[in-house]
Copies of this chain bind each other. A is one copy, B any other.
Amino acid sequence: MDKLQTLYYEFIPTGEAKMKIDPAKTALLVVDMQNQFISRDGLDAQVAREKGMFDKWESFYDRIDNVAIPNNKKLLDFFRANQLEVTFGRIACHHKDGRDRSPVQRRPGWNNILLPIGDPGAEMVDELKPLEDEIVVNKTTDSVLSGTNYEFLLRNMGIETVVCTGVVTDQCVASTVRSLADAGFEVILVEDACAAATKELHDAEIMIMNQIYCQVMSTDETIQFISEEIEQRSVVQK
């Protein structure tokens, strides 16, 4: 990918310092790729249509269908084929009336979401369905780590690096990446497995987070990078 670099990193170049990862200590985290938010017949798309605003969102749904979902699928296939840890974060509350939701998703506005466990809108889209033994963390916050057991599960499993994807780049994905970095994890943010309402919002937040909180890579770069590590380790073992 083209180098995404803020003034902070012109100032202090990181040089050739290359990230190192242990695939056995690496987890994929797919954030909020749920029917309500990314399906063309999900609730958000319906509301946009009713309000006559769907044309403004068309490019979002195009990116979801043509870029984000296929790339997430590619990553899921790769992680599963190599027996690497696969995890999901999603927005879902326990009670039908949503009284257990965090205030941040209860106030008026875009982030006001009432999506109880069991509601079809809360499910991941069909292409990205979790397998039976894969961890799915429910949250009513933006960061997958806020008020959940996700960080604890990662530590118990010995995970050190998280490969993060999902929607929307500048909100739940960004808050999750920042929390992961603050909690001491290395993060790879897979740029073309994410999406935001507009390209500008997506690009702005990607630029801000790159290098300081995560390494931004494409899906293919991510798979190649981890494959090389797997290869190297299997050579060493022999």
Contact check, B104 vs A182: say whether CB atoms are below 8 A apart.
yes
Given contacts A153-B100, A157-B100, contact A11 B147 (CB under 8 A): no
Give residues 34-81 of A contacting B (CB, 8 Å).
47-48, 51, 53, 56-57
Contact status B110-A147, CB under 8 Å: no
Q: How far is the CA of A8 from the CA of B108 in the complex (A)?
A: 13
**Which of A120-128, A207-215, A220-228 binds B?**
A207-215
A103 to B155, CA, bound (A): 10
By the criterion CB–CB under 8 Å, are A211 and B9 in contact? no
- B108:A14 contact, CB within 8 angstroms: yes
The yes or no answer to A218 lying at the interface (CB within 8 A) is: no
Q: Kindly list chain B residues whose C-beta atoms are within 8 Å of the C-beta of A53.
A: 10-11
Any B CB within 8 A of the CB of A230: no
Closest-by-CB residue of B relative to A85 is B99
* Contact A156 to B99, CB < 8 A, known contacts A11-B51, A181-B142, A182-B143: yes
Could you list 5 further interchain pairs (A-B, Cβ under 8 angstroms) beyond the known A11-B53, A14-B109? A9-B110, A11-B56, A146-B179, A148-B149, A201-B208
Chain A residues at the B interface, C-beta cutoff of 8 Å: 6-12, 14-15, 17, 47-48, 51, 53, 56-57, 94-96, 99-104, 108-112, 133, 135, 138, 140-143, 146-149, 152-153, 155-157, 168, 170-171, 174-175, 178-179, 181-186, 197-198, 201, 204-205, 207-208, 211-213
